[in-house]
Amino acid sequence: MNRRVAKLLIVTGLVLALPVLAAANGLPVFTELAARAGKSVVFIATEKTTQAGPGGRQFRQQVPEGHPFREFFDRFDQFFGQQPGQPRKQTGQGSGFVISPDGLIVTNNHVIEGADKVTVRFQDDTREYVAEIVGRDKETDLAVIRIKSDRTLPVLAFGDSDALMVGEWVLAIGNPFGLDNTVTAGIISAKHRIIGAGPFDNFLQTDASINPGNSGGPLLNMRGEVVGINTAINAAADNIGFAIPSSQAELIIDQLKEGKAVRRGWIGVTIQSVDATQAKALGLPEAKGALISSVGKDHPADKAGIRQGDVILEVNGEPVNDSKDLLARIAGLMPGEKAKLTLWRGEKRISKTVTLGERGERTMAAMQPQQPQTAAMVLGMSLHPVGEREANALGLDAPQGLIVVEVAPDSPAAAEGVRQGDVILQANQQDVNSPAELESVIARDKTRGAVMLLIKRQGQNLFVALPLDQK
C-alpha cells in the first residue's frame, strides 16, 4: 500500500469514527428526545379583527417628509381606497405544549392576547383544533388554552429549573417563522436575567436558537422535562434567548388552568435597592435589602407599623437581596396571608408581621422600585426653609423641609442628580426644617461616613445618600 493511500484511509477512518468519539466523550444525542417531546409541542395560529384607523396614514405619520415611503403610502391609499375605521384581519403565530391529556396547553400571553380565534396544530396530526382561552397573566406573559380532542394527548412534565446549572444542555422546540417543529439545541448561558420585560423578570438565558414563532414553546432538559417557556429574544444579538423558568411558571399555571385570575400579595410601599453609600449611611453591614421610600396610608405595611426608611432584609426568613427580590417574594404569597418581615431600623434588626393585601393594576405602581441615585462627595446645595407659598406650590400638606434653591454646577451634588426645586424632608430619618438642623444631623452622624436624604420631587419620594468628608 503506498503512503498516499494509507494516509487517505487513516483520515477517512478518523472521520468515520467521529460519531463514536463524540458519544464516548459524552456529547449529547438529541434524536430520541426530539422525537418524543415533539409530539406534545403545537403550532398556534391566531386571528383578530382590528380597526384599520387611518390606514397607511398611521405609518406615514412616522415617516419623515421627503422620504420615498411617504409617496408610497399616498398612492397606496389612492389605489385601494382604504377608509379610516375599516376593519381588517390580523394574524399571528407562536408555539405551545400540552400539559394534560385532555387538552390543556401552555403558551405565552402575547401569542394569544386580543385574538378572536386561536387554532392549534400538532406535528403528527393534519387536523386543526380551535382552542379556547382558559386563563392568562400579562405580568408573567403566560397563558393556558384548551382544545377538545378524541384522543389522549401526549404531555410534557415540568422539571426543576432551580436545579439547572449554567452550561447545562437544553433543547428548544417550536415554530420559528412558521417553520413547524423546529428543534434547536444549546446550553443555559445564565440565570436570573432581568431584561425589562415586566416586574417579575427572572429569565433563563440560553444560546439555543430562539426566533419569532418560538414564543410559548418548551425549553427542555436532557430528561425531556420542561425547565422553561421560551419567551423573548435579544434582536441585536446572535443566539441569546430568554425563557421563563419552570419554578416560576408552574405557580402561575396552576392558577390559570383552573380559570382563575392570578392573585398576588401586596404590602403598599414604594421601594428601591440599597447601594453601598446608602448602606453606610444606614449602618448596614452590607448593601442588601429593599429600602422603603414611602408607605401608603392605611395600606398593609402602614397597618403593620412599617415606616419610611426601613430596610426589609427578610420575608418569612428568606433573605431579600434587592427591590426585585422583595417584589417577587411578596407577590409569590397569597392575599390575606401573614408575612413576617425582618427590618433594619435604627441600626438594629426588628420584626413586623404584615397581613398582605392584593396586588392589582391599580396598586401595581406602588411596588415599582425607585432608581437609586449615584453618590456625591459634598452636599453642594443652597437651601431655604419651605414656607406657606412654597408648600402650596409644591403640593405639600404643610410647610416642611428645605427647598433646593440652587445646586453648584460643578459639585458632586449636581452630578448626584439633586435638582433645583427638590425638597429635603429628612436627613438620616430625622425631620429637617432649617439648614441648621441639617448641619446638626451631619455633624452628629459624621462618623457613619454618609447622610441619607429623603427628597420629595414632583410629588414622589426618593432617598439619596451622600458621602461625608470625615476629616
Residues composing the chain: 471
Candidates 95, 137, 141, 445; catalytic one = 141
CA-to-CA distance for 92 and 114, rounded, in angstroms?
11
Residue 288: is it exposed, middle or buried by C-beta count within 10 angstroms (0-12/13-18/19+)? middle
Q: In the chain, what are the domain boundaries? A: 28-75+100-262, 265-367, 381-467
**Of 251, 249, 201, 254, residue with least CA distance to 228:** 249
Cell numbers at residue 356, please?
Answer: 398582605
Residue 234 assigned to a binding site: yes
CA-to-CA distance for 45 and 175, rounded, in angstroms?
10
State CA 387 to chain mean position distance.
42
Candidates 40, 189, 215, 294; catalytic one = 215
Q: What is the DSSP letter of 369?
A: B
Domain 28-75+100-262 and domain 381-467, same fold? Reply is no
462: part of which helix (H) or strand (E)?
strand 460-467
Enumerate residues 6+ apart whose C-beta is below 8 A from 353. 304, 338, 339, 340, 341
Q: What is the DSSP letter of 43?
A: E
CB 69 within 8 A of CB 63: yes
Candidates 40, 95, 110, 322; catalytic one = 110
27 CB-side CA count, 13 A: 9
Residue 231 assigned to a binding site: yes
Residue 384 assigned to a binding site: no
Q: Name residue 446's amino acid.
A: K
Q: Is-catalytic flag, 141? A: yes
- DSSP, residue by residue, 275-328: -HHHHHHHT-SSS-SEEEEEE-TTSHHHHTT--TT-EEEEETTEE--SHHHHHH
Residue 406 assigned to a binding site: no
**Confidence (pTM):** 0.64
CATH code of domain 381-467? 2.30.42.10
CATH code of domain 28-75+100-262? 2.40.10.120
Residue 273 assigned to a binding site: no
CA-to-CA distance for 125 and 155, rounded, in angstroms?
15
CATH superfamily of 265-367: PDZ domain (2.30.42.10)
Q: Is-catalytic flag, 110? A: yes
CA-to-CA distance for 283 and 218, rounded, in angstroms?
46
pLDDT tens digits, the chain, 471 residues: what are they? 454 444 433 333 333 333 434 444 567 889 999 999 999 999 999 998 865 544 444 444 544 555 444 454 455 454 444 455 567 788 889 999 999 999 999 999 999 998 999 999 998 888 999 999 999 999 899 999 999 998 999 999 999 999 999 999 999 999 998 888 899 999 999 998 888 777 788 899 999 999 888 999 999 999 999 999 999 887 667 788 999 999 999 989 999 999 888 889 999 998 888 888 888 888 999 999 999 988 888 899 999 999 988 999 999 999 999 888 898 899 889 999 999 999 999 899 999 999 999 987 555 444 444 433 332 234 777 887 887 766 766 677 778 888 887 777 776 666 667 777 788 888 888 888 888 788 878 878 778 877 888 888 877 888 887 777 665
Residue 109 assigned to a binding site: no
Residue 232 assigned to a binding site: yes
